[in-house]
A and B are shown apart, each in its own frame.
Chain A
Amino acid sequence: MTTAIQNHSSHDHHGPAKGIGRWLYTTNHKDIGTMYLWFSFSMFLLGGAFALVIRAELFQPGLQLVEPEFFNQMTTMHGLIMVFGAVMPAFVGLANWMIPMMIGAPDMALPRMNNLSFWILPFAFAMLASTLFMEGGAPNFGWTFYAPLSTTYAPPSVTFFIFAVHIMGASSIMGAINIIATIFNMRAPGMTYMKMPLFVWTWLITAYLLIAVMPVLAGVVTMMLMDIHFGTSFFNAAGGGSPVLFQHVFWFFGHPEVYIMILPAFGIVSAIIPAFSRKKLFGYVSMVYATGSIAILSFIVWAHHMFTVGMPYAAEVFFMYSTMLIAVPTGVKVFNWVATMFRGSISFETPMLFSIAFVILFTIGGFSGLMLAIAPADFQYHDTYFVVAHFHYVLVPGAVFSIMASVYYWLPKWTGHMYDETLGKTHFWLSFVGVNVTFFPQHFIGLAGMPRRIPDYALQFADFNMISSIGAFLFGFSQLLFLLIVVKCVIAGKKAPAKPWDGAEGLEWTVDSPAPYHTFEKPPKVE
């Protein structure tokens, strides 16, 4: 190591190291971004496999395939792996790849810590996944791990769940700090704040959400650990604590967390829609302020997740109205995306298809969110499949579609090859149909009263559940096509020009495709 440092100034222009060491020891933002993205994809497949176990069991009423106990482990692990293993690392991977290139920086601000942030994740998720093989099984208390289910009644593996959350939280905090330092400190001359691409803006705000709430998550799991192993009574009324305390602390983390999973998606869509509409983004400044408003509001809405827990009337009303306020900045965004497309000369390549689907389907998820925000109505919807339908609409055709859109959009830049457009469109339509067939019927069965997190159900829900399961398998297996398209594009394909999309803007399109291992060692001048 020492020699490497001393030799540094003598040869600056070098490519990647050879072998496995390139990936284990790298300090390169592109390598680290790539690892994040592949890790995220593998977690997406693992979490997806768990989802298919759930949907297979729910294909028909009655218990067919798995024990209820194992079913609970599947719902829990599916949620945890998708949230912390698939969606969050995917966005961090995109941030790693794109933010330095978008702002004209040579790398991330703290490259060694960047590598640490990534390598914690495989260990954390290996530990989390290993709980499936432990005595008493994996965590079975839902991804929201409400006490006392997660304390008094938890399986012993909860200890490892807690520590996995601790270290993945450390990873997120370090990642967020790195992103903030990069954006504040490493913008090229002339790249003023209000010239930054929206993806950079949304990530800056997301990073703030992360460093504000990941420590709170660490706090709440620490309280659990103390209650379980050291006899404290945070969540035990017999000692003067309260299980509701858990829900307050958890959702103080949890609500900003859901915006952590959607704000970068807003940034991605705000890059892709103008590119394929061949117009400038409508309302850039309002987009920035809307993102900031959403982030601030996210800290004062948390108790809308717990309307039925027994809160004073004033609290119900406060959290109801503050939640509805979020519809205003979100509405601004949707309006701006639509206005960007208005009178544009639009072409429908795969990234654009995913982005348009994002706008429409995310808005549907937003509307069902508004329905859930109405406290008196929520007493009916709470803990039903309507909630499941709502958050899957914002997370799958929301967050996940935006990630797929971004992969198609930037694959030429990453690999130097064009992906197969026909296969890409096929993947889009299969996913689009699969997602809607899976989740739209869940609105109906939820409103009709089917509770979530249950392996068996009453007969009247049978038809819609069967449709939903068929959709889930369609969507799930379509993702193997995605894998095929990406691998194909990495290996070969039509050579990509530096700027493969007509209307695309940004510094990342000024460098070659594939982007050189080191970009912008001398900062570019931004007009």
Chain B
Amino acid sequence: MSSETTYEKYYVPEQSKLPVWMAFGMFATVAGAGGLMNGNSTMWLFLLGSGILAIVMYAWFNIQIRENHQGLPNEQVKKSYVWGMGWFIFSEVMFFAAFFGALFYIRTIVGPWLGGEGAKGVTGDWLYPDHEAVWPLLNNPNNELFPPPSGVINPWHLPLFNTILLIASSVTLTIAHHALEKDKRKPLLIWLVITLVLGFTFLFFQGKEYVEAYTHLDLTLESGIYGTTFFLLTGFHGAHVTIGAFMILIMTLRVMKGHFKPSDHFGFRAAAWYWHFVDVVWVLLFLFVYII
């Protein structure tokens, strides 16, 4: 634990077996998943890949933490981590941008055209003369191929509650962060645990909402473009909340082990950034998927 060592050089790690195993794990996971989707029995490959990924990531983070405790990475190296995480989150923003862009394009351009309005409305008139485009689509252009939902989720019940939960969790996480910076370990731990509880409650209600959508509203992946955009946007968000919650969980465990210092807690900081990012995405979702 010698952070004030005179290590002037940029720390370049020795050879590592982890990256090539991680690449193999990624390959096995997606090859296994692809095989499953195509109806082959490649579950074993998928599980093998996921197992390798889990082990490798555990080992990789472990080494990262140990090197940090040995004081190998200096301030300059830590700046690289900051840039790395920052631009990784930017790439995630662009991933969501693709789906939001698709949603906006569908709603403002494709919808009216299929309903027979606008510059290319003639296409809709010719293909689906009876179709009227009203968002949310409770009638699809072809209701036999894509049976429409009977209703949509009311934004002012569960989604509103979930919004409050998630925004609150961002606040509690920030309080925890401040506590860490003032080296107050006990409040740090308490606010982290509260954040975790809020996060998992969000996920629980999101699951409940999906069950309601599938069982009561016939709102499914197969129910046309409304269900498609609804489940893909909220689903990818939910996946990211899961990842973020997992990060916070790890941070909580590390806090319990006595990791992090007021001046040196990049892992915590990165997890917090990720959590705030997921929070912002949710606000946009609440606005553009649920309300408007």
Contacts and interface: CB of A to CB of B under 8 A. Distances in A.
Given A163-B30, A185-B83, A115 B76 contact: no
Given A1-B16, A219-B99, A239 B72 contact: no
B137 A240 contact: yes
A445 B256 CA distance: 72
B175 interface: no
A109 B94 contact: no
Main secondary structure of the interface of A (DSSP, over half): helix
A170 B133 CA distance: 37
Contact of A111 (B12, B114, B232): B12
**Of A6, A182, A216, A313, most B-chain CB atoms within 10 Å:** A216
A244 interface: yes
A525 interface: no
B267 to A, nearest CB: 15
Contacts of A26: 15
A240 B19 contact: no
Contacts of A120: 23, 26-27
A181 B13 contact: no
A180 B82 CA distance: 11
B10 interface: yes
B72 A240 contact: no
A215 interface: yes
Interface residues of B, number: 78
A218 to B, nearest CB: 6
Interface string B130-168: 000100010011100110000000000000000000000
Contacts of B133: 240
Contacts of B19: 25, 112-113, 115-116, 119
Interface stretch (A227-235, A272-280, A498-506): A227-235
Contacts of A9: 7
Interface stretch (A52-60, A61-69, A245-253, A290-298): A245-253
Contacts of A453: none
B120 A312 contact: yes
B70 interface: yes
Interface in B178-193: none
Contacts of B99: 219
Interface in B91-126: 91-92, 94-95, 97-99, 101-102, 105-106, 110-111, 113-114, 118-120, 123
Interface stretch (B209-217, B223-231, B243-251): B223-231
Interface of B: 7, 9-10, 12-20, 22-24, 26-27, 30-31, 33-34, 37-38, 60, 63, 66-67, 70, 72, 76-77, 79-81, 83-84, 87-88, 90-92, 94-95, 97-99, 101-102, 105-106, 110-111, 113-114, 118-120, 123, 127-128, 133, 137, 140-142, 145-146, 220-228, 231-232
18 contacts: A5-B70, A8-B72, A25-B16, A27-B16, A105-B10, A106-B12, A119-B23, A162-B34, A184-B83, A211-B94, A230-B222, A233-B225, A240-B111, A240-B114, A245-B102, A245-B105, A249-B102, A252-B98
